[in-house]
Amino acid sequence: MQQAVVHLHPAGRLLALLGNPNCGKTALFNRLTGSRQKVANYAGVTVERKEGRLLTPGGERLRLLDLPGTYSLHPRSPDEQVTRDVLAGVAKGEKRPDLLLCVVDASNLRRHLRLVLAAQRQGLPCVLMLNMADVAERRGLRVDAAALSRELGMPVLRSVAVEGDGVDALRRLLDDPATWQPAAPPQQPEADDGARIAALLQRLGLDQALPPGPTERIDRWVLHPVLGPLLMALLMFGMFQAVFAWAEAPKAWIEAGAAWVAAGLNTHMAEGWLRSLLVDGLIAGAGGVLVFLPQILILFAFILLLEESGYLPRAAYLLDRWMGGLGLSGRSFIPLLSSFACAIPGIMATRAIANPRDRLVTIALAPLMTCSARLPVYALLIGAFIPQRRLWGGIELQGLVLFALYAAGMASAAAVAWLLKHLTARGQVRTLMMELPEYHWPRLRNLAIGLLQRAWIFIRRVGGIILVMTLAIWLLSSYPAAPLEATRPAIEYSWAGQLGRWLAPLFEPIGFNWQIVIALIPGLAAREVAVGALATVYAVSSEGHALTGLIAQQWSLPTALALLAWYVVAPQCLSTLATIKRETGGWAMPLGVATAYFGLAYGAAGLTYVLARASV
Ligand SMILES: Nc1nc2c(ncn2[C@@H]2O[C@H](COP(=O)(O)OP(=O)(O)OP(=O)(O)O)[C@@H](O)[C@H]2O)c(=O)[nH]1
Ligand SMILES: [Mg+2]
């Protein structure tokens, strides 16, 4: 039997954004469609096509595609392939665009116009957006849009995508039927494009070299072989110090608020299952995770600042040689760095890696980067076991331990990379081909939007998967109730208690008690769930103590350290494993990663436990 696949395209003419990486396509897309797609100051942020809708003043509803940036229409990596396929009209489930919005960086026309000429050869109507006009004008470069339009034979608009300049003019232009006439393709062969652009720039008086901007001056320090790495270490170190130092006050407010609500419920509600569900399940469990919101936001504020300023690709550049020693190129840096937020976007970002072997290795390393979901677990254990002490120079001990945990994650990734370098065939030595963008002042508005988005994602997780899982744990640890003649604490008779006891022998050698064991199981759904689950288990079995105080009393230091070691490597996240399966198209990688890292986590926790016991 033969089956034909029929694609039904939504109504409305289709526009596609085309341009080199980092020229502001997504910023423009967000302004045109009201979306909030990720915008950041480095190449390769967008790796998938994203669709949005826009309305023209004349009332026409159009569809707009945001595409990954590309240098040419001869793709070298999976993300560039996406762009090529869409333009050629062979992308699955998508028709060929009716118009191309070519976005260029106005301060870098010599390079960016090449793609515009290539776009013209596609025989589609084109509109040119002279983006980053603010940057160009600050450096004394004024492009005559009308003259450029005559030269190229397509409409040209000045735009500052981050401010929304040029967006209204574009909308109006789209109502003009003449805009939708295909541009005449260039007569000259592609090989002559460089010469043609040079001549064109000369005629427009745009061929003189720009005076060096502040970027060059800043880079003399940032990329300095000695000062550069030092500055990078300082930045990272400062970030983890801030996570503890700045979060203290807001964290105390949330805790006080939760305690106040719990106390109110305890005095005004009769004792019973509903009160226990609210106090032990909802407030102790989900609320116990919410407490970590300030720390997560501080971490993200740093990450967003580094992303928007343009520092990140510099860090990649500095680490390139070092990564070369591990058989990786600096290309892997951005995906690995995104994994500090969450491994899932990190794994998706590997689509920008052209070499298939490098891509798989990077995917395998992404779960070892310390994602933000581990932060609540780390912060809980550090808060309970590491004294709040200042070392020499006012360095906070707690922040230092957090820094060490992140470093441990990176060190284990380095060890795995080194191992894979010796186990798998390597391609030829590759040098990093990555653009170093101009530094930008981060915009407060974008930063605020980014933080709000992050806060919202976290709160949704707490209210969704984390709440559901902690309520399940509450149910399992509250029922069945203890028999009348019970001698041991009631929770030990519950399903959770029984399951924990049954699994406990497996984890005894690495120092985990049964409470930890039953927190780890729902913790597979999301790492933070373990914190909520522990909070609930302890809330059910004891009265009115904060989780931090309880575990500080009841666990030994070696147990806490072993759990930290477990969390550094364990692939405690089913969605990450599912993403690996989707991105690699098979079971081999996700199963391999899960087996290897669970084994490694068990070993690391066991070793930590034994060593810590021997030394205390
Ligand atoms: N000053 C200034 N900055 C801009 C402008 N447009 C975008 N930016 C900044 O330029 C950087 C890149 O913007 P993006 O929209 O992520 O670029 P992109 O073309 O989508 O990049 P890829 O997805 O990597 O291909 C971000 O830091 C933006 O804030 C502009 O007109 N002026
Ligand atoms: Mg983009």
* Centre of ligand 2 from the C-alpha of residue 330, in Å: 20
Q: Which atom of ligand 1 is nearest to the CA of 19?
A: 19
Q: Are strands 14-19 and 99-105 parallel, antiparallel or unpaired?
A: parallel
Indicate the length of the chain as a whole number.
Answer: 616
Instruction: Judge whether 271 and 278 are in contact, CB under 8 Å.
Output: no
Residue 340 in tokens: 């500090």
Torsion over CA: 548, 551, 554, 560 (sign): negative
pLDDT at 1: 44
The number of helices, as runs of H, and strands, as runs of E, in the chain is 28, 6
Please list the ranges in the chain whose pLDDT falls under 50: 1, 428-429
Rg (CA), the chain: 28
Residue 166 in tokens: 């040029």
pLDDT at 590: 95
* Distance from the Cα of residue 166 to its chain's centroid: 30
pLDDT at 33: 94
* Centre of ligand 2 from the C-alpha of residue 45, in Å: 5
Instruction: Judge whether 438 and 272 are in contact, CB under 8 Å.
Output: no
Q: Are strands 61-66 and 50-55 parallel, antiparallel or unpaired?
A: antiparallel
Taking the C-alpha atoms of residue 526 and residue 215, their distance in angstroms, rounded to an integer, is: 41
Taking the C-alpha atoms of residue 500 and residue 494, their distance in angstroms, rounded to an integer, is: 10
Q: Ligand 2 being an ion, which residues bring their Cβ within 5 A of it?
A: 26, 45-46
Out of 31, 42, 46, mutate this one to test ligand 1's pocket (max ligand atoms within 8 Å of CB): namely 46
Taking the C-alpha atoms of residue 139 and residue 213, their distance in angstroms, rounded to an integer, is: 7
Instruction: Judge whether 185 and 120 are in contact, CB under 8 Å.
Output: yes
* The amino acid at 342: C
Residue whose C-alpha is closest to residue 101's, from 79, 86, 81: 86
Phi, psi dihedrals of residue 317, rounded to the nearest 5°: -65, -45
Give the ipTM of the model, two decimals please.
Answer: 0.99
Q: Which residue has the tokens 């298939």?
A: 356
Torsion of CA 495, 497, 498, 501, to 10 degrees: 160
Q: What contacts 70, CB < 8 A, 6 or more positions away?
A: 18, 20, 21, 79, 80, 83, 84, 115
Out of 31, 32, 36, 41, mutate this one to test ligand 1's pocket (max ligand atoms within 8 Å of CB): namely 41
Phi, psi dihedrals of residue 169, rounded to the nearest 5°: -60, -40
- C-alpha separations of 17 from 30, 100, 101, 121, 187 in Å: 12, 6, 5, 16, 24
Specify which residues 100 forms β-bridges with: 16, 126
Q: Under the phi-then-psi rule, with left for phi > 0, alpha for psi from -120 to 50, and beta for the rest, what region is 132? A: left
Task: Report pTM.
Answer: 0.83
Tell me the angle at which helices 293-309 and 444-461 cross, rounded to the nearest 10 degrees. Answer: 140
Out of 25, 48, 137, mutate this one to test ligand 1's pocket (max ligand atoms within 8 Å of CB): namely 25
Q: Which atom of ligand 1 is nearest to the CA of 66?
A: 20
Q: Which atom of ligand 1 is nearest to the CA of 443?
A: 29
Taking the C-alpha atoms of residue 436 and residue 308, their distance in angstroms, rounded to an integer, is: 13
Q: What angle do CA 177, 179, 183 make, to 5 degrees?
A: 125
Out of 17, 18, 20, 26, mutate this one to test ligand 1's pocket (max ligand atoms within 8 Å of CB): namely 26
* Centre of ligand 2 from the C-alpha of residue 160, in Å: 15
Ligand 1 site: residues with CB under 6 angstroms?
Answer: 19, 21-27, 39-41, 43-46, 68-69, 131-132, 134-135, 160-162, 308, 440
Phi, psi dihedrals of residue 130, rounded to the nearest 5°: -85, 85
Phi, psi dihedrals of residue 16, rounded to the nearest 5°: -130, 140
Q: Which atom of ligand 1 is nearest to the CA of 135?
A: 1
Q: Which atom of ligand 1 is nearest to the CA of 310?
A: 27
Taking the C-alpha atoms of residue 129 and residue 144, their distance in angstroms, rounded to an integer, is: 13
Taking the C-alpha atoms of residue 405 and residue 399, their distance in angstroms, rounded to an integer, is: 10
**Minimum CA distance residue for ligand 1 atom 16:** 39
